[in-house]
Amino acid sequence: MDRKEFIRLTGFFLAGTFFSCQKSPTTPIEEKPENYTLTDIVESTMINGLERPGGVSVYPIKTGISKSINQYTSGINVFCENPLFNGPPVTDFEIRPKILKFTEDEQTILAGGEISLYHLSELTSAITNDFDTGWVENYTFNEKTILRPRGLSIDAVVLEDNSVLVSSNVSKKIFEIDESGIDHVYLEDDELIGITNMILGSDGKIYCAQLPLIDPPNNIIRPKRVISVDSQKNINIEFELPIGTFGGTCASGLDNTKYAGNCLPMDTHLKIIENTNIGEDKPSKFYVTDLLTQVVYGISQKGDVSILANLRYPSSVAIDNYGKLFVTTSPLLSLEREVSHYPELFEINPETEETTLLHSFTKDSNSYRSGIAEEVIIEGQKYLFPTNFTMYSALFENEAKFVFIYTNSLTGTFNKLDATKG
């Protein structure tokens, strides 16, 4: 498809018809999460100058009836770095997608030690179409004008054998990288298009949150959903999500698939996490954040979807060993491009549905003011929403310490929050 033929849906946000999804009453639970508060919160940047970093994944905790503190085993922790293209037009990678690994010893991280960074792999088995959304921004790199993909979401997940799977929202492939850094195509299927987040479930399956596919202007071909990939590489639909709100800019990459001619919305993402406080009596097995619909969903053991919380453009989600959620939100700008709302970190207690603001990310705020932003209206007030903003996060903890690791795409940083449990 020629770039000029890309479909542009009318308006930035289009609201589809919601499935039946109401905020459900709290279900009484006998076992309560650990009751702690966070104090002495310190924000620090570990790595600067990254190219739209994302996709944080830490080595899996041992699984069982419940995941508990201090059960990490030795393994790698990783995050992703976006590619850059040469051109125009896009003909090849200037810099390939990178997978970087960081300090493997969680005790070092929890003790406040220095977090080291290592190169794991560049995706040599990928082609530009696997990461080219069809929309680019000119970017000056080493005094050369090159192309930065707009609306690209790359994620990674660490498996128990220390291999890493990598996805792109505009690719029908999942890539695999072994411990030595050698990569290949792990799985290729049309149903993999639209992945924005992957996790390793306690049952050993890979769970993937996917964007919808639209027949413009707003006919839903495939809803927002979560699929799984098992050890035999079988793909199964786990549950569907309310269509909610989706972006109005279509990504490329569908021409050689059964979805050719349809629209994959960009500038949005879904994030998924599994409940660590699991059991048949627990109300939610998974939680999913929906950026543009501005909600956090709880998904029951049977796959029923309910609204747990409403938050302003939730951008990432992590969970502690007792089932509490930690959700980051996105920045908003005034029409003059001043920061009106900083990214924030909220704690959500699923049992009480109580939401608590923990921290505002005010560092490097000038990074939010440049680049592509779309006008939105919230409670009658006009703002600008930076469409290339996203965070990916992970959590390390023990009885006394809380370390929240996250990437910030617009500041180009890999960061952490250290806090004390009180």
Q: Which domain holds residue 60?
A: 41-421
Residue 178 has pLDDT above 50, yes or no: yes
Residue 366 lies in a domain: yes
Comparing CA positions, the residue from 241, 247, 251 lying closest to residue 269 is 247
| Segment among 21-30, 124-133, 190-199, 288-297 with least mean pLDDT | 21-30
CA distance 314 to 346: 10
Residue 21 lies in a domain: no
pLDDT, tens digit (0-9, with 9 covering 90-100), for 387-399: 999 999 999 998 8
Residue 13 has pLDDT above 60, yes or no: no
Task: Give the pLDDT confidence score for residue 281 in this predicted structure.
Answer: 62
Residue 216 has pLDDT above 90, yes or no: no
More confident residue, 107 or 392: 392
Residue 5 has pLDDT above 50, yes or no: no
pLDDT band of 116, cuts 50, 70, 90: confident
| Segment among 252-256, 319-323, 339-343, 383-387 with least mean pLDDT | 252-256
Rg of the chain over Cα atoms, rounded to whole angstroms, equals: 20
Task: Give the pLDDT confidence score for residue 248 in this predicted structure.
Answer: 77
Share the mean pLDDT of the chain: 86
Q: How many domains does the chain have?
A: 1
CA distance 44 to 418: 8
Q: Which region, left, alpha or beta, applies to residue 367 given φ > 0 means left and ψ of -120 to 50 means alpha? A: alpha
Residue 192, classed as helix, strand or coil, is: helix
Q: What share of the chain is helix, strand, coil (3-state, %, to 5)?
A: 5, 50, 45
Residue 9 lies in a domain: no
Residue 31, classed as helix, strand or coil, is: coil
Across 6-150, the runs of DSSP E, i.e. the strands, are 8-15, 38-47, 53-57, 77-81, 84-85, 93-95, 98-102, 117-122, 136-141, 144-149
Residue 164 has pLDDT above 50, yes or no: yes
pLDDT band of 11, cuts 50, 70, 90: very low
Are 410 and 368 in contact by the 8 Å Cβ rule? The answer is: yes
Residue 146 lies in a domain: yes
pTM of the model: 0.89
| Segment among 16-20, 286-290, 341-345, 389-393 with least mean pLDDT | 16-20
pLDDT band of 280, cuts 50, 70, 90: low
Our CA dihedral for 254, 260, 265, 266, rounded to 10 degrees, sits at 20
pLDDT, tens digit (0-9, with 9 covering 90-100), for 226-247: 999 999 999 999 999 999 998 8
Enter the tokens of residue 408: 């910030």
The CATH number of residue 372's host domain is: 2.120.10.30
For 195, phi then psi, to 5°, come to: -70, 130
Enter the tokens of residue 229: 């990939």
Residue 23 has pLDDT above 60, yes or no: no
